[in-house]
Amino acid sequence: MPTPELRTTDSPAAPAPRLPWPALLAMSTGGFVTIMTEALPAGVLPAMSADLGVGQSAAGQSVTLYAVGSIAAAIPLTAATRRLPRKRLLLIAVGGFAAANAVTAVSSNYPLTMAARFAAGLVAGLLWALLAGYARGVVAPEQRGRAMAVAMAGSTVALSVGVPVGTLLAGLVGWRFTFGLMSAIAVALTGWMLLALPELPGRSDRDRTPVRQVLRTPGVAAVLAVTATFVLAHNVLYTYIAALLAPLGLDGRTDTVLLVIGLSSLVSILGTGALIDRHLRPLTVAASVLLAVAALLLAAALLGPTGWPAYAAAALWGLGFGGAATLLQTAVADAAGPAGDIAQSLLVTCWNLGIAVGGLAGGLLLDHSGPTALPWSALVLLAAALATTLAGRRHAFPGRARHSVV
């Protein structure tokens, strides 16, 4: 395997090659489609449940089944398909979104709709495990962080802009039309990827690394632990943000607070893209600190006479969370080296477990202790994430950039 060329300080540095923008933007659009498919039911739940003839809690399981599909698929599908060409797999995954969203758009049968949502989660687990390695594989080693930031930006755009716009569109023309539109976008994206993505080979059996050995690779387990605790803290708050805002007199301003989170997330992903190749460790530390301060402001607002700190909390929340996926995927890819695809599948599993457990644990806390318990619980989790990040100086989150061969 070739070793990355080292530049000497005596020779002038060659200009860095340009990023392959069409390929990276196509990958970013893939992330956009994935997050839109995952999150859109939350915005159209009343209409969706009415059309399917079930209660909103039953319709809400469309999100749960999507997450379960992602958890179930990420590791086994990534391992089973490691020998296949990467481009073909990515096209299959995006085609799976087109099919699943089309079925969701036309189905009036609840079990069939839930099966389509589970299938969408399966291809999402595969796509997320592919995207990071693909983005890193089409650029020079010193550009991998920026390439990851571009490829992951679509998911941030989906959360900050796409879901609110999709919800508005569903209110105007119906939720089925919105899912149909997402299917059409996925079909168009397959054509774009076919033209824009370079071919990348799969891994040979000689390069195969068992999951147990990947977990023992120095730094990998620490990155996964930070992922689980950080995402769990985020989702304890995010899933029940309306319940957090109601005691502050902001129950009618949930959309505004979400917009602030979304816009600051966009700022975060831009900053992450510019700095990640040189400052992965401080950026990861800052992510936990910013989200912890946001949780502390929410806790203070719940104890105080005014709810204005919620807007400041939302801005810091977005700054902390927006670049987190890029930071953590880069860290685990650097730590795992040639086993990066398996490591990414483990990270996807931890991320979705954080989503699922966050919703469950947050609901239990809300029922038994009220909304005040949510930010304090998030603070405990973020303290654990921060401590693990600080302890991972050598392998998980090194102080200097490390360009592994992927």
pLDDT of 1 > 60? The answer is no
Q: Which residue has the higher pLDDT, 159 or 371?
A: 371
Q: Which residue has the higher pLDDT, 289 or 138?
A: 289
- 36-40, 135-139, 251-255, 398-402: which has the minimum mean pLDDT? 398-402
250-275: average pLDDT: 83
298-319: average pLDDT: 87
pLDDT of 94 > 90? The answer is yes
pLDDT of 367 > 50? The answer is yes
pLDDT value at residue 396: 85
Q: Which residue has the higher pLDDT, 56 or 20?
A: 20
* pLDDT-based confidence at residue 6 (cuts at 50, 70, 90): very low
pLDDT of 9 > 50? The answer is no
pLDDT of 5 > 70? The answer is no
pLDDT value at residue 40: 85
According to the per-residue pLDDT averaged within each range, which of 194-208, 272-286, 347-361 is highest?
272-286
Span 139-174, pLDDT tens digits? 888 888 788 888 888 887 887 778 778 877 888 899
State percent of the chain over pLDDT 70: 91
* pLDDT-based confidence at residue 16 (cuts at 50, 70, 90): low
Q: What is the 3-state secondary structure (H, E, C) of the chain?
A: CCCCCCCCCCCCCCCCCCCCHHHHHHHHHHHHHHHHHHHHHHHCHHHHHHHHCCCHHHHHHHHHHHHHHHHHHHHHHHHHCCCCCHHHHHHHHHHHHHHHHHHHHHCCCHHHHHHHHHHHHHHHHHHHHHHHHHHHHCCCHHHHHHHHHHHHHHHHHHHHHHHHHHHHHHHHHCHHHHHHHHHHHHHHHHHHHHHHCCCCCCCCHHHCCCHHHHHHCCCHHHHHHHHHHHHHHHHHHHCCHHHHHHHHCCHHHHHHHHHHHHHHHHHHHHHHHHHCCCCHHHHHHHHHHHHHHHHHHHHHHHHCCCCCHHHHHHHHHHHHHCCHHHHHHHHHHHHHHHHHHHHHHHHHHHHHHHHHHHHHHHHHHHHHHCCCHHHHHHHHHHHHHHHHHHHCCCCCCCCCCCCCCC
pLDDT of 400 > 80? The answer is no
30-55: average pLDDT: 86
pLDDT value at residue 41: 83
* pLDDT-based confidence at residue 402 (cuts at 50, 70, 90): low
pLDDT value at residue 403: 47
316-325: average pLDDT: 92
